[in-house]
Every structure is written in structure tokens, then in C-alpha cells.
Homo-oligomer: A and B are copies of this chain.
Amino acid sequence: MVSTMAASGRLTVAGLGPGALEQITPAAAAALQAATDVVGYLPYVERARELLARAGLGCEGGPAVAWHASDNRVELERARQALELAAGGRQVVVVSSGDPGVFAMASAVFEAMESADADPAWQALDIQVLPGITAMLAAAARAGAPLGHDFCCINLSDNLKPWAVIERRVRLAAEADFAMAFYNPRSHSRPQGFVRLLELLRACCEPGRLMVFARAVSTPQEALRVCTLAEALPEMADMRTVVLVGNSATRRVGRWTYTPRHYGMDGSDSSGSRP
């Protein structure tokens, strides 16, 4: 089939942040307001629709928007659909929760460009990725500043990599004394991964290590729990939870959990952090 890419098509991959509409950047909102097509996992498409409805656009008044909501687990299909629509001249926004570049749709779009059935013209499309507030930053802000020093970010889904890779990364991250953020800690289909993670952390870190379980931050279902590694239970996490693990210096002051900016030297204030 001959590619019929229209010059005016555009694909924007936009992050909608952790949940609340007031955490969506004006840049992402503007992209949605200019969209002819919104593509994404159903709950994120609903969030985009809510945003446009609040702005008086999209549903009535503004230009007609075609909504393409799909199920979970079809990221590549969704990415191909979005690329095809943009190649056909549409103004397409692919919506992700959080940030599209952190375990979300941006990589899927670029993978689709390289897939066997890709149209080579897709690579020349007008594409932009708009960042969003990713879940670990929203979670950290609610808890205080547990990611205030060097940290790492690990997707616990072993649908995407062998468990042995996760285990090796967690061991090395603990040895490096990174704070850690874990995405997708637990699902119905794989309840054992997080059990194994807790065992692994207990083998690598002291029992008093601080952990934050942050569920659905910024939504009505928000729940935040701070405890020590010794107190942590598998049931504290589900797929809507981000789990943060402090480094060895992470501490509590009042109701806050934070990691000091300095490490391995005296605690005097000095230059070098971004103020």
C-alpha cells in the first residue's frame, strides 16, 4: 500500500501525570485541545476527556475529537494505530499516565516504528513527546523528599524482563546505596514478585530501612503508608502503588520522610545542589 502521509499530521505522546487534572501540564492540555484523535488505555482516555470537558472543549463546543480507547497489554497495536492516524494527516495525541517516557507509551511508539510491518514514512512524521509528572515524583512529594539524593527506578513487571535481571539490579542498587522506586510492584497474575522483592531487600538492607507505599497519589483513592523494611508486607502494594525505598541515610522528621542531600561527608550546607 502506498503511504499517503499528509503534511499536517502530527503525533504527540503526552503524559497526564499521576491522576489529578491539576497535575497535567499546560503543554499537554494544549496538545489535547488541538487533537483530532486521542489514543490510549481506557482510563487515561477518560482522564483526557474529563480535562477537555472541564475546559469546555472536546465533547461539545470544540472540534470533534475521535476517542480511541483500548485495553491494557496492547501497547504496540495502540502505537501503530496512532502512527497510522498521524500519517493520514490527523492530529493525534497518545495519552500515558505519569510520564510517557517512564515505563509507558513513548518507547512503544518508537518500537512500532521499527516493527516488521512499519511504514518507513512514520520515521519522518512530526512527533513530539511531552513529559508528565511520573508516579515516583508524585509519591515522593507526598512523603517528603525520599528521592532527594541519587536513586534508581525499576519496573517490577517480569513480563518485560526475566526475574533474574530484576534481582541483579536490586542487589547492585542496594550495594550502590541508591534510593529505589519500584513501578508495577504487584498484580493478580503475578503476586509472587513483590514477595520475592521484600525477601531480597531484607537480604541487602538493614531492617530499619524506610519504605513508602504510595497508592493512586493525587486521586480520591490516594493512600500513603510509610514503614520500615521490617514492617513491610506484600499486601501493602498493588498495581496502583509505587513503592519507594530510601537509601541508608533516609530519615523521618515529624510526619515527613526525606533523604539528605549530602552523603558520606559532614552535613554542612554547601553549594552544588540545584537550589
A interface with B by C-beta (< 8 Å): 17-18, 20-27, 30, 40-41, 44, 70, 72-78, 96-111, 113-114, 123-124, 127-134, 137-138, 140-142, 144-155, 157-162, 165, 168-169, 172-173, 175-178, 183-184, 187, 189, 251, 253-256, 258-265, 267, 269-275
Across the interface, A275 reaches (CB within 8 A) one of B20, B23, B96, B253, namely: B96
With A262-B160, A272-B184, A274-B98 given, is the CB distance from A110 to B149 under 8 Å? no
Cβ-closest chain B residue relative to A178? B152
List 13 interface pairs A-B (beta carbons < 8 Å), by A numbering: A73-B270, A104-B273, A104-B275, A107-B259, A110-B144, A123-B255, A150-B153, A157-B273, A160-B270, A169-B178, A184-B272, A184-B274, A189-B271
With A141-B129, A159-B271 given, is the CB distance from A261 to B24 under 8 Å? no
Across the interface, A160 reaches (CB within 8 A) one of B124, B154, B157, B273, namely: B273
Q: Shortest beta-carbon distance, A254 to chain B, in Å? A: 3
A273, B76: Cα distance in complex, Å? 11
Copies of this protein chain in the complex: 2
Across the interface, A123 reaches (CB within 8 A) one of B99, B110, B253, namely: B253
Contact B21 A26 (CB under 8 A): yes
**Which of A30, A155, A160 gathers the greatest number of chain B CB atoms within 10 Å?**
A160
> In the complex, which residues of chain B have a beta carbon less than 8 angstroms from the beta carbon of A102?
137, 147-148
Contact B162 A145 (CB under 8 A): no
Cβ-closest chain B residue relative to A268? B76
> In the complex, which residues of chain B have a beta carbon less than 8 angstroms from the beta carbon of A26?
21-24, 26
